[in-house]
Amino acid sequence: MTILAHQIMIRRMRRMLWFLLWMMAGVFSFRGAEAQLNKAYFFYAGRSLLIEDKYQDAIEVLNILLRADTSATEGYFLRGIAKYNLEDLLGAEQDFTRAIRQNPVFTTAYQYRAITRSRLGNYDDALRDFQEAIDLRPDIPSPYYSRAVTYLLSQQFEKAVEDFSTFIKYDPKVSEAYLNRGTSYLYLKDTLRALSDYEQGIRTNYFDPNGYNRRGSLYLSLRRYEPALEDFNKALDYDSTFLPAYFNRALLYSRTQHPVDAIADFSKAVQLDSTNAITYFNRAILRTQIGDYNKALEDYNRVAILLPNNVLIYYNRAGLYTQLGNYEAAIADYSRAIDLYPDFANAYLGRSSLRYNLRDMKGSRSDKETADRKIAEYRAKLNDSTFSIYADTSRQFNQLLSFENTDLMKQERQAIGSQSGDLSLLPLFKFSLIQSDSATAKTQRPSLPDTYSKYYNEAAENFCQQVGWRQMQWVNRETNLPPDTLFVLDEGAEEAIRQGDNRWQAYFKRGVTQSLIRQYTSAIAQYTAAIDRNPSNPFLYINRSTTQSEMIDFISSIDNNFHRISVDSDPGNRLRDHSTRSYNYDDAIADLNKAIKLLPNFAYTYYNRANLYCLSGAMSEALEDYTHAIELNPTFAEAYFNRGLIQIFLKDTHKGCLDMSKAGELGIAAAYQALKLYGQPLNR
State residue 23's pLDDT score: 45
87 pLDDT higher than 70: yes
470 pLDDT higher than 90: no
* pLDDT band at residue 181 under the 50/70/90 scheme: very high
* pLDDT band at residue 444 under the 50/70/90 scheme: very low
Residues of the chain with CATH 1.25.40.10: 1-126, 293-415, 425-678
Query: Which pTM does this prediction carry?
Result: 0.65
State residue 343's pLDDT score: 82
Report CA torsion sign: 596, 600, 602, 607. Answer: positive
| Range from 27-41, 182-196, 436-450, 642-656 carrying the lowest mean pLDDT | 436-450
603 pLDDT higher than 90: yes
- Tell me: the pLDDT tens digits for 536-571? 999 999 999 999 998 887 666 544 443 444 444 443
The domain made up of 293-415 has a fold known as 1.25.40
- Tell me: the pLDDT tens digits for 500-548? 999 999 999 999 999 998 888 899 999 999 999 999 999 999 999 999 9
Contacts by residues 551-555 (CB-CB < 8 Å, ≥ 24 positions apart): 551/520, 551/521, 551/524, 552/583, 552/584, 552/585, 552/588, 554/518, 554/520, 555/583
State residue 19's pLDDT score: 46
- Tell me: the pLDDT tens digits for 633-659? 999 999 999 999 998 888 788 899 999
Assess contact for 99 and 73: CB atoms under 8 A. yes
CA 572 to chain centre: 15
Q: How far apart are CA 105 and CA 137, in angstroms?
A: 10
| Range from 214-218, 247-251, 270-274 carrying the lowest mean pLDDT | 270-274
Residue 575: φ, ψ to 5°: -85, 125
Give me the CATH code for the 1-126 domain, please: 1.25.40.10
* pLDDT band at residue 10 under the 50/70/90 scheme: low
Percent of the chain with pLDDT over 90: 57
Q: How far apart are CA 158 and CA 668, in angstroms?
A: 43
The domain made up of 425-678 has a fold known as 1.25.40
423 pLDDT higher than 90: no
Q: How many CA atoms, within 13 angstroms, populate the side-chain half-sphere of residue 107?
A: 13
Arithmetic mean of pLDDT over the chain: 83
* DSSP letter, residue 207: T
State residue 9's pLDDT score: 55
Q: Which residue has the higher pLDDT, 467 or 27?
A: 467
